């Protein structure tokens, strides 16, 4: 039978005990498994729950208690955690706080140590990240940038995308080289009005810009190179 380490009633003793096990990885992992059914994944570098808590907790919202044991801080306090919205969620419904009704799980990071916990979206919002669910909904509805994986937002204060951008956010979107079929006797006209340039290596004229904003007269001259 597993021996469950008791929680100390004396606050000072309890703090001293957690300070001690926090500096011993094996002790900490054993304590979290025995008492909270929480384990650390080396593969994903994250703490996550594998079952219900083994001890009686009067406060049903355990995220703050758990993170304080592991990091020394209650990361439900605003300003002590961060999320990376470029990261995809994980399949699962069991948040580290004990809730088993999550649709997906996400990484919530402790700012000071970069230790992270696998939690549901409600816990992320309770930790002060008010727009997290809205951003995830944007990712579901509009997709993610194919370069940086950030959720694509079409409207609002943090708008970063237009549907014509072909799944590339404004931050990653850059002008591209578009090669054109231009005849010799046309080059002066197109140089003057469209600022086309010559590539002597492959011997084609090109235009620098965005395909969706390409002048109409150039669209039927685009080469697939």
Contact 119, 82 (CB under 8 A): no
Query: Residue 11: pLDDT above 80?
Result: no
Give the whole-angstrom CA distance, residue 214 versus residue 207.
9
**Per-residue pLDDT, 207:** 96
Mean pLDDT value across residues 31-37: 91
Give the whole-angstrom CA distance, residue 46 versus residue 120.
14
**Per-residue pLDDT, 91:** 94
For tokens 């956010």, the residue is: 169
Query: Residue 76: pLDDT above 60?
Result: yes
Higher pLDDT, 190 or 14: 190
**pLDDT tens for residues 46-63?**
999 998 766 555 554 588
> How would residue 222 be classed by pLDDT, with cut points 50, 70 and 90?
very high
Query: Residue 19: pLDDT above 90?
Result: no
**Per-residue pLDDT, 96:** 93
Give the whole-angstrom CA distance, residue 223 versus residue 13.
74
Contact 165, 173 (CB under 8 A): yes
- Helix locations, the chain, DSSP H: 11-22, 25-36, 63-71, 121-126, 132-142, 187-194, 216-219
Radius of gyration of the chain (CA): 27
**Per-residue pLDDT, 24:** 84
> How would residue 20 be classed by pLDDT, with cut points 50, 70 and 90?
confident
Give the whole-angstrom CA distance, residue 152 versus residue 210.
19
Higher pLDDT, 11 or 176: 176
Mean pLDDT value across residues 101-125: 95
**Per-residue pLDDT, 7:** 47
Give the whole-angstrom CA distance, residue 178 versus residue 161.
22
According to DSSP, residue 186 is labeled G
% the chain with pLDDT above 70: 88
Q: What is the pTM of this model?
A: 0.74
For tokens 């930790």, the residue is: 127
**Per-residue pLDDT, 13:** 55
């Amino acid at each position: 039978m597993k021996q469950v380490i008791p929680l100390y009633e004396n606050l000072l003793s309890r703090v001293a005990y957690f300070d001690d096990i926090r500096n011993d990885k094996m002790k900490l992992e054993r304590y979290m498994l025995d008492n909270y059914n929480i384990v650390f994944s080396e593969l994903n570098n994250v703490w996550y729950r594998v079952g219900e808590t083994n001890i009686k907790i009067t406060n049903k919202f355990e995220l703050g208690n758990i993170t304080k044991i592991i990091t020394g801080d209650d990361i439900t306090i605003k300003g002590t955690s961060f999320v990376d919205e470029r990261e995809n969620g994980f399949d699962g419904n069991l948040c580290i706080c004990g809730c088993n009704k999550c649709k997906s799980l996400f990484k919530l990071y402790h700012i000071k140590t970069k230790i992270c916990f696998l939690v549901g979206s409600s816990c992320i919002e309770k930790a002060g990240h008010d727009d997290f669910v809205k951003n995830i909904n944007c990712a579901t509805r509009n997709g993610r940038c194919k370069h940086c994986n950030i959720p694509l937002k079409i409207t609002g204060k943090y708008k970063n995308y237009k549907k014509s951008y072909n799944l590339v956010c404004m931050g990653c979107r850059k002008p591209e080289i578009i090669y054109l079929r231009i005849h010799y006797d046309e080059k002066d006209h197109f140089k003057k009005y469209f600022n086309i340039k010559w590539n002597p290596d492959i011997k084609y004229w090109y235009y620098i810009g965005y395909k969706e904003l390409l002048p109409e007269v150039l669209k039927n001259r685009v080469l697939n190179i």
